[in-house]
Structure 1
């Protein structure tokens, strides 16, 4: 059995054809076996390491957006969203109505990573797929590796799910992920509705261009990304005015960032921002990232409402389909924003 989509059939055991990532050792197992020694392949080159001199000299917090106000059509809150997307590319969402499922989602993900390695390997990424357990963006046996493990699943639409990667032996995992996905879909719809209005389109315009959600884990090759963080670990940093600024977790908030797709659609008005996660010596960190991406054939050209020959001339191409851009990014290691976005520019 399979699902017909854009000219090809998606079967449970077949990948979507976006790319692949090479298998690498589990970071969790490295720590468990010898917590005092980090293999050379995980030690970043000096120029790539976070430096204390890069930290912002003053305390700055990214904007906080009240989703309840946006839902009720509050114009002041929509203006705050507009400024957040232009000046920061990142914001935190509160009063989103999904508070009850957030701790359940964190617990479900933690339960997977607490499994023995032999159990987690049952869900390992295939040689020609990005779904499953492993690490993303590994394209060679020589490149430096990130200090993390991930589980990447496609969750919506349900016809795209490859259930062999879902750890359904964990009690409640599937039900929790479905509940979380449904709640996030509501939040995403509201964000896209407001972004559509801000970009001069009907409220449902951007929603109709989207394809599906991914759960997993530079700038993101998504339309937008939603991140559920640990409440007590500050690890995420964003690059703002040439300084790296830590994003302090707000309890029950969701971090949202603009992806490369919305930057292209907005003709550069809304910015996709480089970000990174730094390690800590105290405890492991778990985060849940939801990547919202367009359908394969959607073009990433700027919307006509965002182009003005006199004041905002077109700076992005007209003929790049999302699937081609995604394959371009997944065929390279995660290495900043410039290379990926340059692929979209004139």
Structure 2
């Protein structure tokens, strides 16, 4: 029997779509979307904009600053010697794209592409949220008002880095991540929750990868898997990717809805503030979500 592979979900196949998405969140915490509704031309334009922005001089990229670590530019040697990333934090807040583009002097065309792409992925995230609610038999809007972060990533690989790790093993701290991976240069690997083996998440052009994070595990009362994943260097060339992170509620605690808690499924986690949790992850050096143990209830 061969290795299991990450589920592929066709968004146009509406029969049982909500249930398929919930099952993928439970069994893998990772899945690939086809026919997701984001235009191919826009994805290609965003990849081109990402490449041109990541090629800017270092002194320009460093102007993408934020008072809090991880919310602005990530230079090489902060997360990995081979990784760097530009970031639009809380991208739906008024003026977020204007502020980012003024920081690094992006062109009007680049600004237009970034904003169109960011909001196309934000719309897709809202749709995924509604499908998760539907699949769990819940009502309401899941991600309404939640901050989202758009991040453009570049892996600077060389012959000396082949076989090394470009992004260390981690889970994402937020609820979910929608990733446009490099359609040519592979490297993304996810942990199979059943076998514990690393499984390559091979690229399929025109598709998107969804990773489920720590907040989703807590919100689902432990049903959803915060997938552990990493990026390896398979070949000596530049690798780029673009991620939209749906983080956590801004003015409310992260907690499971009461409908997901009963005598057979007691509450597993104490409610917490997302920003406090993110800082605790850093403070305790818990890249794979180990800091969640501090919020386990006595019944867990």
Map 1:29-178 → 2, pairs under 5 A: 58-70=2-14, 74-75=15-16, 77-98=17-38, 99-123=40-64, 125=65, 128-135=68-75, 138=78, 145-154=80-89, 156-159=91-94, 161=96, 163-166=98-101, 167-170=104-107, 172-178=109-115
Q: Is the contact between residue 146 and residue 250 of structure 2 (CA under 8 Å) also seen in structure 1?
A: no
Note the C-alpha offset of 1:267.
0.6
Quick check: 1:137–1:333 contact (8 Å CA) kept in 2? no
Comparing 114-123 with 185-194, greater Cα deviation is found at: 114-123
Structure 1 pair 102/344, CA: closer, same or farther in 2 (3 Å)? farther
Question: Which one is further off, 290-299 or 191-200?
Answer: 290-299
Q: How many angstroms apart in 1 are the aligned matches of 2:227 and 2:202?
A: 17
Tell me if the contact between 1:213 and 1:290 (Cα under 8 Å) persists in the aligned partners.
Answer: yes
Q: Are 1:137 and 1:330, in contact at CA under 8 Å, matched by a contact in 2?
A: no
2:269 aligned residue (316, 319, 322):
316
Q: Describe the superposition over 1:177-198 as per-residue Cα deviations: whole angstroms up to 9, x where unpaired.
A: 1010121122111100010112
- Relative distance call for 1:233 and 1:267 in structure 2 (3 A) is same
SS at match of 1:308: coil
TM-score by length of 2: 0.83
Number of residue pairs aligned between Structure 1 and Structure 2: 276
Which is further off, 156-165 or 170-179?
A: 156-165
Q: Structure 2: which 5+ runs fail to align?
A: 154-169
Distance 1:313 1:334 in 2: 25
1:196 to 129, 133, 140: 133
Note the C-alpha offset of 1:225.
0.4
Residue 114 of structure 1: CA displacement?
1.7
TM-score, with structure 1 as normaliser:
0.72
CA distance 1:208–1:307, change in 2 (3 Å): same
| Aligned residues of 1:112 and 1:170 also touching (Cα < 8 A) | no
Shift of 1:209: 5.6
Larger radius of gyration between Structure 1 and Structure 2: 1
* Secondary structure of the structure 2 residue equivalent to 1:134: coil
CA-atom RMSD in angstroms? 2.5
Change over 3 Å in CA distance of 1:137–1:297 after alignment to 2: farther
Matches of 2:191 and 2:240, distance apart in 1: 21
Contact 2:171 2:287 in 1 (8 A): no
SS at match of 2:245: strand
Local SS of the residue matching 1:277: strand
- 1-structure distance, mates of 2:147, 2:90: 11
Q: Any conservation in 2 of the 1:219–1:260 contact (CA below 8 Å)?
A: yes
Cα shift readout 1:16-46 (whole Å, capped 9, x = no counterpart): xxxxxxxxxxxxxxxxxxxxxxxxxxxxxxx
1:86 positional shift: 0.9
Asked if the contact 1:88–1:271 (Cα under 8 Å) also holds between the matched residues in 2, the reply is yes
Q: Is the 8 A contact 1:265 1:302 kept in 2?
A: yes
Q: Which of 187, 198, 205 is the matching residue for 1:251? A: 205
Q: CA deviation at 1:92?
A: 0.7
Unaligned runs of 5+ in 1: 1-56, 139-143
Q: Give the drift of 1:81.
A: 1.4
